[in-house]
Amino acid sequence: MDISQQTALVTGANRGLGRQLALELISRGATVYAGARNTDSIQLPGAKPLQIDITDPTSVAAAAEVAGDVTLLINNAGVSTGSSLINGSLEDIHTEFNTHFFGTLSMVRAFAPKIASNGGGTILNILSVLSWFSSVNSGAYSAAKSAEWALTNAIRLELADQKVRVAGLHVGYMDTDMTARITAPKLNAADVAKLAIDGIQADSYEILADELSRKVQKGLAGGVSALYPQFV
């Protein structure tokens, strides 16, 4: 894919990885719609601010009419409530799934036909190493991201004959607002953005941004005991 010839939409582009993805795309010559619920929060010279709430189908439909020339969709908008599946608020758990699964699905259903009618292109879903691995403090987030991974695999099959390539980015902790309370080592979001766009440019289906993601992916073949040695 020639990035300089693409019209991209990045959701959650007002901060964190989304902002860095938009900046990276702009630097490579792409036309960029920067999506956020509040367009006043978007500070991206060269981007086209686009109001969108991915959990609101009416908002998504309106955005698809405005940005009908998109050939590259990056589903980055996300949320982390820190909720436990056992003891957490059901409202928080619904928020996780409404954002990561149903919100992503809503975006795909609205924009995939646009991408196909524009001659084809790519959808990149920003996933996580927690799509493949759960911790005590990430129950709702991991479950929702795992569902988004399954969604990514399914729509890749469904959209292949429409010349819409579907990719997923798996990444560990990044230095963003979402991980501010986490003390573990974190990746630089700008570096991850570069890796992600490099992967799109190379037509990759799966982009692993760090060693942790590669290690966990390999561990999947080993079953429960490989990923959770406490259950050996």
For the stretch 95-135, pLDDT in tens is 999 999 999 999 999 999 999 999 999 999 999 999 999 98
Which pLDDT value is given to residue 183? Answer: 66
Give the pLDDT of residue 74.
Answer: 98
Is the pLDDT at 175 greater than 80? The verdict is no
- Band (137; pLDDT cuts 50, 70, 90): confident
Strands of the sheet with 31-36, listed across from one edge? 48-51, 31-36, 7-10, 72-75, 121-126, 164-170, 206-208
pLDDT at 173 over 90: no
Q: Give the mean pLDDT of 180-203.
A: 85
What is the DSSP annotation of 141-209?
HHHHHHHHHHHHHHHHHHHGGGTEEEEEEE---BSSGGGTT--S--B-HHHHHHHHHHHHHTT-SEEE-
Q: Residue 71's pLDDT is what?
A: 98
Distance of CA 120 to the CA centre of its chain: 19
For residue range 21-32, what is the model confidence (pLDDT) as tens digits?
999 999 999 999
Summarised one tens digit per residue, pLDDT across range 45-69 is 999 999 999 999 999 999 999 999 9
pLDDT for the residue 182: 61
pTM assigned to the model: 0.93
Which pLDDT score is estimated for 187? 80
Position 150 pLDDT exceeds 60: yes
